[in-house]
């Protein structure tokens, strides 16, 4: 069994190392083929955003946010809503309207130009490119929430031992 695991692990490790150390193109925002690719992707962002809103509503309706772990998971859902709004707007400006032009000046400088010359739109686009400021806290709160829920479950199972469901009566199987 160990031999089989090594056969699987080695190619996976080599492929991961190759992707990390020799990337072809690295883009923060994924570009999609027109027109179907971007429409489906935008609908997915809307669906994810609406799902997170319903999730927050469900957590509050069940009053689960009184527990620390679920409260952190609620924060995760909120940050994912913000992230989806942000990247939805980026895709809309970048790919659907095409009113933003980004050009590389040198390795450390880029030029962002709005088609109508609006400086505020250029600043908004630049700030929206920092979408990881919403995504990373969402993942952080997910990790924190799940950690708290696991710790709570662990302390509860230590306090009350679980009975085996298979042997409830003497002789039953």
CB 52 within 8 A of CB 131: no
Residue 140 half-sphere exposure toward CB, CA atoms < 13 A: 7
Partnered with residue 106 across adjacent β-strands are: 109
d(CA 173, CA 167): 6
Tell me the mean pLDDT in the region 42-66: 96
d(CA 80, CA 142): 10
Sign of the dihedral defined by the CA atoms of residues 71, 43, 94, 97, in that order: negative
C-alpha distances in angstroms, 101 versus 23, 39, 63, 110, 124? 24, 20, 47, 10, 13
pLDDT digits 0-9 by tens, 16-37: 777 777 766 555 555 656 666 7
C-alpha distances in angstroms, 70 versus 7, 50, 51, 52, 152? 40, 19, 16, 13, 11
Does residue 1 have a pLDDT over 70?
no
- Say what the pLDDT of residue 173 is: 47
CB 49 within 8 A of CB 81: yes
CB 85 within 8 A of CB 49: yes
Tell me the mean pLDDT in the region 54-70: 96
Burial of 13 (0-12, 13-18, 19+ CB in 10 A): exposed
Most confident of 5-9, 76-80, 116-120, 164-168: 76-80
- Say what the pLDDT of residue 161 is: 62
Does residue 98 have a pLDDT over 70?
yes
- Say what the pLDDT of residue 51 is: 97
Does residue 44 have a pLDDT over 80?
yes
Identify whether 98 is preceded by a cis peptide bond (ω within 30 of 0).
no
Decide which of 18 and 107 is more confident.
107
**pLDDT-based confidence at 165, cuts 50/70/90?**
low
d(CA 51, CA 122): 30
């Amino acid at each position: 069994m160990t031999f089989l695991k090594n056969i699987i692990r080695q190619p996976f490790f080599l492929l991961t190392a190759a992707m990390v150390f020799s990337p072809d193109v690295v883009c923060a925002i994924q570009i999609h083929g027109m027109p179907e690719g971007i429409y489906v992707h935008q609908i997915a962002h809307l669906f994810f955003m609406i799902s997170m809103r319903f999730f927050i509503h469900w957590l509050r309706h069940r009053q689960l946010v009184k527990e620390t772990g679920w409260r952190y998971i609620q924060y995760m859902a909120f940050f994912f809503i913000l992230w989806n709004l942000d990247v939805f707007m980026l895709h809309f400006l970048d790919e659907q309207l095409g009113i933003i032009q980004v050009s590389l000046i040198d390795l450390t400088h880029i030029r962002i130009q709005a088609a109508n010359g609006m400086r505020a739109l250029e600043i908004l686009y630049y700030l929206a490119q920092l979408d990881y400021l919403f995504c990373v806290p969402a993942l952080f709160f997910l990790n924190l929430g799940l950690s708290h829920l696991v710790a709570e479950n662990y302390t509860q199972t230590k306090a009350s031992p679980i009975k085996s469901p298979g042997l409830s009566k003497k002789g039953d199987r």
